[in-house]
């Protein structure tokens, strides 16, 4: 199983999926981390420069394509994030990925540990349903 985690510093879980600069992808086998890979986020807010929602853009008015995340993370079955917009949530879930929002600051390894220990649950708390997320 592969678990994707958005990050700004290649160490900690990002508070916002789409604004992350990279994704850490952990390959899990028999409950242990077997491999850790860094994948640059070329599809999110960072890739298109900082913008304020409402300024327009090529895709649904704010400059990024959620389908790009699906392509980048196609081999992952789980995504752990501190928060995300509804578009990313819907795209990931629509692609069959399970999405868990971690409600506390955590390193990437701590977040994986919480997931493997069964301490996370899928819910939409933390999903931003407007285009005014911070």
Q: What pLDDT score was predicted for residue 49? A: 47
- Could you state, in order of their start, the residue ranges of all structural domains in the chain? 2-128
Q: What pLDDT score was predicted for residue 64? A: 52
Q: What pLDDT score was predicted for residue 85? A: 86
Residue 18 CB partners (closer than 8 Å, separation 6+): 6, 44, 45, 64, 69, 84, 85, 88
30's tokens: 């028999």
Q: What pLDDT score was predicted for residue 129? A: 56
What is the reported pTM?
0.80
Q: What pLDDT score was predicted for residue 1? A: 97
Element (H, E) at 18: none
Pick one of 3.40.50.150, 3.30.420.130, 3.40.190.10, 3.50.50.60 as the CATH number of 2-128.
Answer: 3.30.420.130
Mean pLDDT by 10 residues, the chain (134 residues): 97 92 97 96 60 38 66 96 89 94 92 95 68 46
């Amino acid at each position: 199983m592969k678990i994707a985690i958005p990050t700004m510093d290649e160490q900690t879980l990002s508070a916002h999926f789409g604004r992350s600069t990279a994704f850490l992808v952990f390959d899990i086998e028999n409950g242990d981390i077997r491999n850790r890979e860094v994948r640059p986020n070329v599809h999110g807010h960072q890739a298109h420069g900082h913008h304020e929602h409402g300024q327009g853009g090529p895709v649904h008015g704010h400059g990024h394509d959620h389908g790009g995340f699906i392509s980048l993370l196609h081999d992952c079955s789980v995504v752990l994030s501190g928060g995300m917009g509804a578009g990313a949530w819907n795209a990931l879930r629509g692609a069959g990925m399970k999405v868990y929002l971690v409600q506390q600051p955590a390193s990437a390894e701590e977040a994986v540990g919480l997931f493997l220990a069964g301490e996370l649950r899928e819910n939409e708390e933390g999903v931003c349903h407007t285009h005014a997320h911070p």
